[in-house]
Structure 1
Amino acid sequence: MAPAPTVPVDTRTLEVPGARLHYEVRGAGPLVVLVGAPMDAVAFAPLADLLAADHTVLTTDPRGINRSSVDDPDGDSTPAMRADDLSRLIAHLDAGPAVVLGSSGGAVSALALVEAHPEQVRTVIAHEPPLDELLDDREQVRAQTDDLIATYLAGDVLGAWRMFFAQAGIELPDGAVEHMFGGERDPQVVADERFWFAHEMRATVRWVPDVSALRSAPTRVVVGIGEDSAGQSCDRTSRALAAELGIEPTLFPGDHTGFADGPEKFAVRLREVLREH
């Protein structure tokens, strides 16, 4: 069998305040931005390849992650900072207004972008944003987050990940945490993981959206939830956001990482959602 054709990728770097952003551009047509946090451009590459058939697709490593270096590795990465980074990338490409699909922490970045620069975003799809402050039990969740971050920084990596998945409501098979996060690991993966725990997670999950600004923006706001995410923390936070905005959540294939686990089905659903408006 012949190998699948590869989509040409234009890899570049953009200097922004305090960081150098690695970003990639594929295809031609209306601009679609795919963004995560802490997920990098690699996680979105299969979906980007599919969308590049009829879109210009921008992917990027968030500041402090993988190939996007920061001047101060001990500084925090906040949703406002990452929103400003996205704004500068879109302006640099001069191809907006864009469709922005953000997943997990990237959904928080995307919502912050709409609040700050609604003119740059035609449609935002916030796929499972971990907005813990919208939950009724936010004080308990806040304490759990502080505990798991402290556990990680104290050196108990496996313990912190077990706490993370328990809080997220994600059930894993026995031994999965040890398999994924134990033994010899890639140094870059470990560095990205530490940056996320130490400098990105807390600011992301405690970001509070300006619901009035989102509702009054010219941007179409879609809240996406994985069909298989029922009962998970990000299902709860996403439904809470949708309720605040007065809209129904939109279901996508898979769970929290459906865009990466099943990019073909995800791309089909994404195109359907974009055609609905």
Structure 2
Amino acid sequence: MTELETRTLEVPGATLQYDIRGELKDAGADGRPVLMLVGSPMTADGFGTLGSYFTDRTVVTYDPRGVGRSVRTDGAAEQLPEEHADDLRRVIEDLDAGPVELFGSSGGAVNGLALVAAHPGLVRTFVAHEPPTVQALPDREEALAVCADIYDTYQRSGMGPAMAKFIAVTSRKGPFPASWAEEPTPDPAGFGLPTEDDGSRDDPLLRQNIRGCTGYRPDFDALRAASTRIVVAAGKESEGELAARAAASVADRLGIALTVFPSHHAGFLGGEFGQQGEPEAFAAALREVLSAD
């Protein structure tokens, strides 16, 4: 990787930290704008491997508010995609390098949808990889109830039981039936998760982001009218899972074909957080998509 520059940006309710790899003064000079890689609530650490395949580009990553180095100062318990989108806007404007190319994964893809709907001029090409916005699903009422149940389980019983439900829900193939609540509750121990409640309730996924992210309703009219080129993608191995189904529904609502990427929901990871995808193939697919602009 090229030399890293870290910047701090004060925004309403939070202090953000973001990283720049490459020379901003050269960004866009050869027709290749800044490439931003964003997740949520995943921090910049998750893009170490993927970013290493783009040393010919200026790459920007950041920690979303409330996680990692980006400290939330407003005391709010939950976060909305619109807040994250405004943070992304401020980071892009702080870069002062023109419209960026944006790759957003998972919650980062949802936040990118909110950004492009509100500020299309800031993003040249947006690749939304498996945005879990269940509002777009045919079974959205059941899916929203399932996500709310994960949040309620966390508030009631702590991380282990809630994360066990989260893993079971996100890896499930196919729609949720109306009788989903009657299904057996997954055992945290079966996933290697703690069964005892440590009393903490500050998890960025299970408390801060899950309801806002999954409950976000994209502004499809604004997205269809945006000057931004939008690509919606899902992993080959993710077919039928919640986030991939949501991606397919978003693409359909936008009137575009779903782009299939290698591997799974975390296909760009190369061992970060103990997860392994196919990062080299994933990076090649992303490069191809960006080059098509």
TM-score, L = length of structure 1: 0.89
Aligned residue pairs, count: 262
Distance (whole Å) between structure 2 residues aligned to residue 265 and residue 27 of structure 1: 23
Pairwise CA distance, 1:73: 3.5
Distance (whole Å) between structure 2 residues aligned to residue 218 and residue 17 of structure 1: 28
Distance (whole Å) between structure 2 residues aligned to residue 205 and residue 183 of structure 1: 26
45, 57, 69: which is aligned to 1:55?
A: 57
Pairwise CA distance, 1:152: 1.1
151, 154, 157: which is aligned to 2:156?
A: 154
163, 177, 185: which is aligned to 2:191?
A: 177
Match of 1:44 in 2: 47
TM alignment of 1:154-233, pairs within 5 A: 154-170=156-172, 177-178=191-192, 181-182=193-194, 194-233=203-242
Verify the 8 A CA contact 1:26 1:49 in the aligned structure 2: no
Percent of aligned pairs with the same amino acid: 44
Residue type matched to 2:52 in 1? D
Give the gaps of 5 or more residues in structure 1: 1-5, 185-189
Distance (whole Å) between structure 2 residues aligned to residue 275 and residue 156 of structure 1: 45
Aligned pair 1:104/2:106, yes or no? yes
Give the gaps of 5 or more residues in structure 2: 28-32, 174-185, 270-276
Match of 1:125 in 2: 127
Residue type matched to 2:171 in 1? G
Q: What is the DSSP-based 3-state SS (H/G/I as helix, E as strand, rest coil) of the residue aligned with 2:53?
A: helix
Q: What is the DSSP-based 3-state SS (H/G/I as helix, E as strand, rest coil) of the residue aligned with 1:225?
A: strand
Q: 1:238-259: per-residue Cα shift (whole Å, max 9, x none)?
A: 0000110010011111100011
Verify the 8 A CA contact 1:64 1:73 in the aligned structure 2: no
Pairwise CA distance, 1:176: 5.9
Q: What is the DSSP-based 3-state SS (H/G/I as helix, E as strand, rest coil) of the residue aligned with 1:251?
A: strand
Verify the 8 A CA contact 1:114 1:121 in the aligned structure 2: yes
Q: 1:55-87: per-residue Cα shift (whole Å, max 9, x none)?
A: 111100000011100113433211111111111
Q: Per the alignment, do residues 72 and 155 of structure 1 end up closer, same or farther by CA in structure 2, a change over 3 Å counting?
A: farther
Distance (whole Å) between structure 2 residues aligned to residue 250 and residue 107 of structure 1: 14
Q: 1:230-274: per-residue Cα shift (whole Å, max 9, x none)?
A: 111111100000110010011111100011133222111111111
Aligned pair 1:236/2:231, yes or no? no
Superposed CA RMSD: 2.1
Distance (whole Å) between structure 1 residues aligned to residue 51 and residue 171 of structure 2: 28
Q: What is the DSSP-based 3-state SS (H/G/I as helix, E as strand, rest coil) of the residue aligned with 1:269?
A: helix
Distance (whole Å) between structure 1 residues aligned to residue 210 and residue 189 of structure 2: 25
Match of 1:145 in 2: 147
Q: 1:104-128: per-residue Cα shift (whole Å, max 9, x none)?
A: 0000111111011100000000000
Distance (whole Å) between structure 2 residues aligned to residue 220 and residue 105 of structure 1: 19
Q: What is the DSSP-based 3-state SS (H/G/I as helix, E as strand, rest coil) of the residue aligned with 2:167?
A: helix
Q: 1:146-189: per-residue Cα shift (whole Å, max 9, x none)?
A: 111111122342221221122213599x96621xx4399xxxxx
Verify the 8 A CA contact 1:168 1:232 in the aligned structure 2: yes
Q: 1:207-229: per-residue Cα shift (whole Å, max 9, x none)?
A: 11111111111100000110110
Distance (whole Å) between structure 2 residues aligned to residue 118 and residue 235 of structure 1: 24
Distance (whole Å) between structure 2 residues aligned to residue 159 and residue 81 of structure 1: 28
Aligned pair 1:271/2:287, yes or no? yes
Pairwise CA distance, 1:49: 2.3
TM-score, L = length of structure 2: 0.84
Which segment is superposed worse, 257-266 or 14-23?
257-266
Residue type matched to 2:48 in 1? A
Distance (whole Å) between structure 2 residues aligned to residue 165 and residue 125 of structure 1: 24
Verify the 8 A CA contact 2:35 2:59 in the aligned structure 1: yes
Match of 1:74 in 2: 76
Q: What is the DSSP-based 3-state SS (H/G/I as helix, E as strand, rest coil) of the residue aligned with 1:203?
A: helix
Q: What is the DSSP-based 3-state SS (H/G/I as helix, E as strand, rest coil) of the residue aligned with 1:266?
A: helix
6, 9, 13: which is aligned to 2:8?
A: 13
Match of 1:95 in 2: 97
Verify the 8 A CA contact 1:126 1:221 in the aligned structure 2: yes
Q: Per the alignment, do residues 122 and 140 of structure 1 end up closer, same or farther by CA in structure 2, a change over 3 Å counting?
A: same
